[in-house]
Chain A
Amino acid sequence: MSTKTDKIDRLAELTAAAETSAGAGLWVEAWRRLRASKMAVIGAVVIGVFVVVAIVGPWVAPYDPTAQLWRGEVFPNQNVFVGPRGENWLGLDHLGRDEFSRMLVGARQTLLVGVVATLLGFTVGALIGGVSGAALVLGGKVGQRIDTVVMRVIDIMLALPSLLLAVSVAAVLGQSLTTVMIAVGVVQIPVFARLLRGAMLAQGGADYVLAAQALGVRKRRIALGHVLPNSLSPVIVQGTLSLATAIIEAAALSYLGLGNPDAAVPEWGVMLAQAQRFFDSAPMLAVYPALGIIITALGFTLLGEAMREALDPKLRS
Chain B
Amino acid sequence: MSLLELNGVKVHFPVKKGVLFDRTVGHVYAVDGVSLSVEAGQTYGLVGESGCGKTTLGRAILRLVDITDGEVVFDGTDLAKLPGEEMRRFRRRLQMVFQDPLGSLNPRQNIESILSEGMAAHGIGADQEERRERIREILARVGLPANALSRYPHEFSGGQRQRIGIARALVLEPDVIICDEPVSALDVSIQAQVINLLEELQEAMGLTYVVIAHDLAVVRHISDVVGVMYLGSLVEEAPSDTLYAEPRHPYTRALMSAVPVPDPEVEDNRERILLTGDLPSPANPPAGCRFHTRCPWKQDTLCATDRPELRDLGGGHRVACHWAEKIADGTIRPSANAATVVPPPAAEREEKETAAAS
Contact = CB atoms under 8 A, between A and B. Distances in A.
B118 A216 contact: yes
Interface in A172-211: 206-208, 210-211
A316 to B, nearest CB: 7
A218 interface: yes
The number of chain A residues touching the other chain, given as a range, is 20 to 34
Interface string A132-152: 000000000000000010001
Given A25-B152, A211-B96, A213-B64, A218 B88 contact: yes
Contact of A214 (B89, B91, B106, B151): B91
B117 A208 contact: no
B93 to A, nearest CB: 10
Contacts of B154: 316
Given A214-B64, A215-B91, A230 B108 contact: yes
A161 interface: no
Nearest to B66: A140
B121 interface: yes
A105 to B, nearest CB: 43
Interface in B80-124: 88-89, 91-92, 95-96, 98-100, 103-108, 110-111, 117-118, 121-122
Most-contacted residue by chain B among A216, A230, A313 (CB, 10 A): A216
Interface string A19-43: 1101111110000000000000000
Contacts of A22: 150-151
The number of chain B residues touching the other chain, given as a range, is 35 or more
Most-contacted residue by chain B among A19, A214, A217, A230 (CB, 10 A): A214
B211 to A, nearest CB: 16
Nearest to A206: B103
Contact of B151 (A23, A26, A152, A229): A23
Contact of A208 (B64, B106, B121): B106
Nearest to B94: A214
B117 A212 contact: yes
Given A216-B92, A216-B121, A221-B121, A226 B106 contact: yes
B64 A23 contact: no
A26 B117 contact: no
Contacts of B150: 22-23
Contacts of A229: 108
A1 B141 CA distance: 41
B136 to A, nearest CB: 16
B88 A214 contact: no
A23 B110 contact: yes
Given A216-B88, A217-B117, A211 B122 contact: no
A212 B165 CA distance: 11
B22 to A, nearest CB: 8
Given A24-B152, A215-B172, A216-B121, A210 B108 contact: no
A207 B97 CA distance: 10
B152 A211 contact: no
B121 A210 contact: no
A215 B109 CA distance: 15
B183 to A, nearest CB: 16
Contacts of A221: 121
A208 B105 contact: yes
A212 B106 contact: yes
Nearest to A148: B20
Nearest to A23: B151
B76 to A, nearest CB: 19
B62 interface: yes
Interface string B310-331: 0000000000000000000000
Most-contacted residue by chain A among B89, B98, B172 (CB, 10 A): B98
B121 A211 contact: no
A14 to B, nearest CB: 15
B100 A207 contact: yes
Given A23-B110, A216-B121, A207 B20 contact: no
B126 to A, nearest CB: 19
Contacts of B110: 23, 25
A230 B109 CA distance: 10
A198 to B, nearest CB: 19
B152 A217 contact: no
Contacts of A207: 98-100, 103-104
A215 B103 contact: no
B155 interface: yes
B109 to A, nearest CB: 8
Contact of B104 (A19, A26, A152, A211): A211
A5 B152 CA distance: 33
Given A24-B152, A230-B106, A313-B107, A19 B147 contact: yes
B12 interface: no
A122 B284 CA distance: 45
B108 A26 contact: yes
A316 B153 CA distance: 13
A210 B20 contact: no
A191 B178 CA distance: 41
Most-contacted residue by chain A among B59, B96, B100, B122 (CB, 10 A): B96
Interface in A1-60: 19-20, 22-27
Contact of B108 (A25, A148, A212, A215): A25
A208 B168 contact: no
A22 B155 CA distance: 11
Given A212-B106, A218-B121, A226-B106, 6 more contacts: A23-B110, A25-B108, A211-B98, A215-B117, A216-B122, A221-B121
Interface of B: 20, 59, 62, 64, 88-89, 91-92, 95-96, 98-100, 103-108, 110-111, 117-118, 121-122, 145, 147, 150-152, 154-155, 165, 168, 172
